[in-house]
Amino acid sequence: MMTVTYRRTNKTVYSAKYHLIWCPKYRRRVLVGAVENRLVEIVHQICVEHGADVIEIEIMPDHVHLLVEVPPVVALSKFIGALKGRSARVLRQEFDHLRRLPSLWTPSWFCSTVGGVPLEVVRRYVENQKLAA
Protein backbone atom coordinates (compact mmCIF):
# COMPACT_ATOMS: atom_id res chain seq x y z
CA MET A 1 0.00 0.00 0.00
CA MET A 2 1.36 3.40 -1.00
CA THR A 3 1.39 6.24 1.48
CA VAL A 4 0.33 9.71 0.45
CA THR A 5 3.13 12.24 0.43
CA TYR A 6 2.03 15.72 1.43
CA ARG A 7 3.77 18.90 0.38
CA ARG A 8 3.94 21.95 2.57
CA THR A 9 4.12 25.69 2.31
CA ASN A 10 4.29 28.03 5.28
CA LYS A 11 0.46 28.05 5.45
CA THR A 12 -0.71 24.93 3.63
CA VAL A 13 -0.34 21.17 3.62
CA TYR A 14 -1.54 19.62 0.38
CA SER A 15 -1.57 16.78 -2.10
CA ALA A 16 -3.03 18.12 -5.36
CA LYS A 17 -2.09 15.92 -8.30
CA TYR A 18 -3.58 16.35 -11.76
CA HIS A 19 -3.49 14.43 -15.02
CA LEU A 20 -3.51 17.05 -17.79
CA ILE A 21 -3.84 16.41 -21.53
CA TRP A 22 -3.79 18.90 -24.39
CA CYS A 23 -3.46 18.59 -28.18
CA PRO A 24 -2.13 20.49 -31.17
CA LYS A 25 -4.79 22.09 -33.34
CA TYR A 26 -6.43 19.46 -35.59
CA ARG A 27 -4.40 16.77 -33.75
CA ARG A 28 -1.47 17.49 -36.07
CA ARG A 29 1.42 15.12 -35.43
CA VAL A 30 4.03 17.85 -34.87
CA LEU A 31 5.33 16.96 -31.37
CA VAL A 32 8.26 14.85 -32.53
CA GLY A 33 12.06 15.00 -32.46
CA ALA A 34 13.54 18.32 -31.40
CA VAL A 35 10.06 19.83 -30.86
CA GLU A 36 9.26 17.07 -28.34
CA ASN A 37 12.54 17.57 -26.48
CA ARG A 38 12.15 21.35 -26.34
CA LEU A 39 8.55 21.04 -25.15
CA VAL A 40 9.68 18.87 -22.22
CA GLU A 41 12.22 21.56 -21.25
CA ILE A 42 9.61 24.32 -21.46
CA VAL A 43 7.09 22.36 -19.36
CA HIS A 44 9.69 21.69 -16.66
CA GLN A 45 10.71 25.36 -16.61
CA ILE A 46 7.11 26.58 -16.23
CA CYS A 47 6.44 24.02 -13.49
CA VAL A 48 9.46 25.24 -11.52
CA GLU A 49 8.26 28.85 -11.85
CA HIS A 50 4.82 27.90 -10.48
CA GLY A 51 6.14 25.64 -7.71
CA ALA A 52 4.66 22.57 -9.39
CA ASP A 53 6.32 19.15 -9.53
CA VAL A 54 6.33 17.10 -12.73
CA ILE A 55 5.66 13.52 -11.73
CA GLU A 56 5.54 12.16 -15.27
CA ILE A 57 5.37 13.63 -18.76
CA GLU A 58 4.82 11.83 -22.03
CA ILE A 59 4.76 13.64 -25.34
CA MET A 60 2.92 11.84 -28.13
CA PRO A 61 3.11 13.12 -31.71
CA ASP A 62 -0.42 14.55 -31.41
CA HIS A 63 -0.98 15.18 -27.68
CA VAL A 64 0.70 15.75 -24.32
CA HIS A 65 0.13 13.83 -21.06
CA LEU A 66 1.32 15.55 -17.91
CA LEU A 67 1.03 14.16 -14.40
CA VAL A 68 1.81 17.07 -12.11
CA GLU A 69 1.38 18.25 -8.53
CA VAL A 70 0.33 21.89 -8.38
CA PRO A 71 0.20 24.03 -5.22
CA PRO A 72 -3.36 25.03 -4.27
CA VAL A 73 -2.51 28.74 -4.56
CA VAL A 74 -1.96 28.28 -8.31
CA ALA A 75 -5.17 28.46 -10.34
CA LEU A 76 -5.20 25.44 -12.61
CA SER A 77 -6.63 27.38 -15.57
CA LYS A 78 -3.82 29.95 -15.25
CA PHE A 79 -1.26 27.15 -14.98
CA ILE A 80 -2.45 25.35 -18.13
CA GLY A 81 -2.70 28.74 -19.84
CA ALA A 82 0.95 29.37 -19.04
CA LEU A 83 1.95 25.90 -20.26
CA LYS A 84 0.09 26.22 -23.55
CA GLY A 85 0.74 29.93 -24.11
CA ARG A 86 4.47 30.01 -23.51
CA SER A 87 5.16 26.68 -25.17
CA ALA A 88 3.27 27.80 -28.29
CA ARG A 89 5.15 31.08 -28.43
CA VAL A 90 8.60 29.59 -27.85
CA LEU A 91 8.14 26.57 -30.12
CA ARG A 92 6.81 28.72 -32.96
CA GLN A 93 9.77 31.10 -32.58
CA GLU A 94 12.30 28.26 -32.63
CA PHE A 95 10.78 25.95 -35.27
CA ASP A 96 9.91 27.46 -38.65
CA HIS A 97 7.52 24.68 -39.67
CA LEU A 98 5.30 25.49 -36.66
CA ARG A 99 5.06 29.17 -37.65
CA ARG A 100 2.90 28.23 -40.64
CA LEU A 101 0.20 26.85 -38.35
CA PRO A 102 -2.56 29.33 -37.48
CA SER A 103 -2.20 28.22 -33.84
CA LEU A 104 -0.27 25.43 -32.17
CA TRP A 105 -2.75 24.23 -29.52
CA THR A 106 -6.50 23.67 -29.45
CA PRO A 107 -8.25 25.91 -26.94
CA SER A 108 -9.50 22.87 -25.02
CA TRP A 109 -7.73 20.65 -22.50
CA PHE A 110 -8.45 17.72 -20.18
CA CYS A 111 -7.95 17.64 -16.43
CA SER A 112 -8.52 14.84 -13.97
CA THR A 113 -7.65 14.88 -10.31
CA VAL A 114 -5.65 11.91 -9.12
CA GLY A 115 -7.26 11.34 -5.76
CA GLY A 116 -9.12 8.05 -5.85
CA VAL A 117 -6.63 6.14 -7.97
CA PRO A 118 -3.23 5.13 -6.63
CA LEU A 119 -0.62 7.48 -8.07
CA GLU A 120 1.45 4.57 -9.37
CA VAL A 121 -1.45 3.41 -11.57
CA VAL A 122 -1.74 6.84 -13.20
CA ARG A 123 2.05 7.10 -13.52
CA ARG A 124 2.19 3.75 -15.35
CA TYR A 125 -0.69 4.82 -17.60
CA VAL A 126 1.14 8.00 -18.62
CA GLU A 127 4.48 6.16 -19.05
CA ASN A 128 2.88 3.52 -21.27
CA GLN A 129 1.21 5.91 -23.71
CA LYS A 130 3.89 5.44 -26.36
CA LEU A 131 3.68 1.67 -26.04
CA ALA A 132 -0.09 1.75 -26.59
CA ALA A 133 0.11 3.98 -29.69
Q: Is 15 helix (H, G, I), strand (E, B) or coil?
A: coil
Q: Which of 112, 46, 16 is nearest to 8 (CA)?
A: 16
Whether 6 is a known active-site residue: answer no
Contact 60, 130 (CB under 8 A): yes
| SS3 sequence of 48-112 | HHHCCEEEEEEEECCEEEEEEECCCCCCHHHHHHHHHHHHHHHHHHHCHHHHCCCCCECCCCEEE
DSSP code for 115: S
* Cα separation, 22 vs 94, whole angstroms: 20
Which position among 14, 18, 26, 125 bears the catalytic label?
Answer: 125
For the annotated catalytic residues, the residue numbers are 125
